Amino acid sequence: MRPIETRYTRNGDVRIAYQVVGLGSFDLVFLPGFISNLDLHWEDEGYSRLLKRLSAFSRLILFDKRGTGLSDRVDANHLPSLETRMDDVRAVMDAAGSGRAALLGASEGAPMAMLFACTYPERTRALALYGDYAHFHKWVMQSRPAMNVGGAFDHQSPDTEGGHMEEKMLTKTQAVDGAAIKKAIEGRDGKMLASFYADDALVRVIDRNNPPSKPREIRGRAAISTFWDDICSRAMTHKVDTTIASGDSLAFTQACAYPDGTKVFAAAMLEFKGGRIARQTIVQAWDE
């Protein structure tokens, strides 16, 4: 199958990524769940099989909601309302030249599809819902307490290559900023922290055992993941204090304490590339 062209349309200041697949007799808009990535969809055998079957009888319109996948990021402190995200469906349909379409809403996409159908009945040919709910926290969070919405899943369905499709998507779409780093560190979430790094990232640690002339170097996301798993598994508290961000750089201080009263102080300097942490230097000291 030839590569699918990804296009972009604007709704206000936000660019929404979308794709159009198939030459069926009617338009079908697929509204995905709370994570999606137009590139990764086609890399997963099961997901791509679904999309191919849908596009076999329709003109299938796919998109990444704002803040996810290939679409523009959103301010984590000012998340878009359901009405705003629903209007992105209208913008995508307009850009794709679709005057009227059937809507297939899955999971979090279902409420959006229902709202669109109520708002634009003249543009809704049919409405189909899968795994829908009226209130996310009531129906999803309480029934699956192990789910960490801000990070990855503890319960996942493995993809055909033995990996986890949801985790791959989250790794690509999770926004990395001071607030996210603070939350992950103070929550001792090693998996989340590891997801913030580029594949070829480098972390340097300077302390009493690793002087500036010979710092400890941890290369690659896999090794960095092991590093954070070890740190987060220790019985100690973490408090991120001063955080300073400028362009593609970020710095913060951190105070830690063990149950026996031993205290650790650390300062970290981070450099970002492509939205991921590419370089990090940690200088730390602790009670003797």
- Does 183 lie in the same domain as 126? no
- Does 186 lie in the same domain as 163? no
- CB of 61 within 8 A of CB of 29? yes
Q: What is the pLDDT of residue 2?
A: 54
d(CA 3, CA 18): 14
Overall number of domains in the chain: 2
Going through 65-123 in order, the beta strands assigned E by DSSP cover 101-106
In this prediction, residues 129-144 reach a mean pLDDT of: 58
d(CA 24, CA 111): 26
- Does 187 lie in the same domain as 245? yes
Is residue 152, in this structure, part of any structural domain at all?
yes
- Does 194 lie in the same domain as 77? no
Query: For 29-83, how does the pLDDT look when each residue is reduced to its tens digit (9 = 90+)?
Result: 999 987 889 988 888 888 899 999 999 999 999 999 999 999 999 887 888 888 9
Given 143, 171, 199, the domain boundary residue is 171
Is residue 2, in this structure, part of any structural domain at all?
no
- Does 187 lie in the same domain as 163? no
| Structure token digits, residue 58 | 């329709």
Which helix H or strand E contains 194, and what residues bound it? helix 190-195
- Does 225 lie in the same domain as 117? no
Q: Is the pLDDT of residue 1 over 80?
A: no
CATH code of residue 247: 3.10.450.50
- Does 206 lie in the same domain as 151? no
Q: Is the pLDDT of residue 136 over 70?
A: no
CATH code of residue 104: 3.40.50.1820
What are the C-alpha distances in Å from 50 to residues 17, 188, 228?
20, 37, 37
Is residue 255, in this structure, part of any structural domain at all?
yes
Q: How confident is the model at residue 156 (pLDDT cuts 50, 70, 90)?
A: very low
- Does 32 lie in the same domain as 154? yes
Is residue 154, in this structure, part of any structural domain at all?
yes
Which of 61-65, 168-172, 235-239, 269-273 holds the top average pLDDT? 61-65
Average pLDDT, the chain: 83
What domain range includes position 41? 7-171
Q: Is the pLDDT of residue 166 over 90?
A: no
- Does 140 lie in the same domain as 237? no
Is residue 1, in this structure, part of any structural domain at all?
no
Query: For 248-282, how does the pLDDT look when each residue is reduced to its tens digit (9 = 90+)?
Result: 888 989 999 989 889 999 999 999 888 889 999 99
Is residue 263, in this structure, part of any structural domain at all?
yes
Q: How confident is the model at residue 154 (pLDDT cuts 50, 70, 90)?
A: very low
Query: For 11-34, how does the pLDDT look when each residue is reduced to its tens digit (9 = 90+)?
Result: 999 999 999 999 898 999 999 987
- Does 237 lie in the same domain as 186? yes
Q: What is the pLDDT of residue 135?
A: 54
Q: What is the pLDDT of residue 150?
A: 36
Rg (CA), the chain: 22
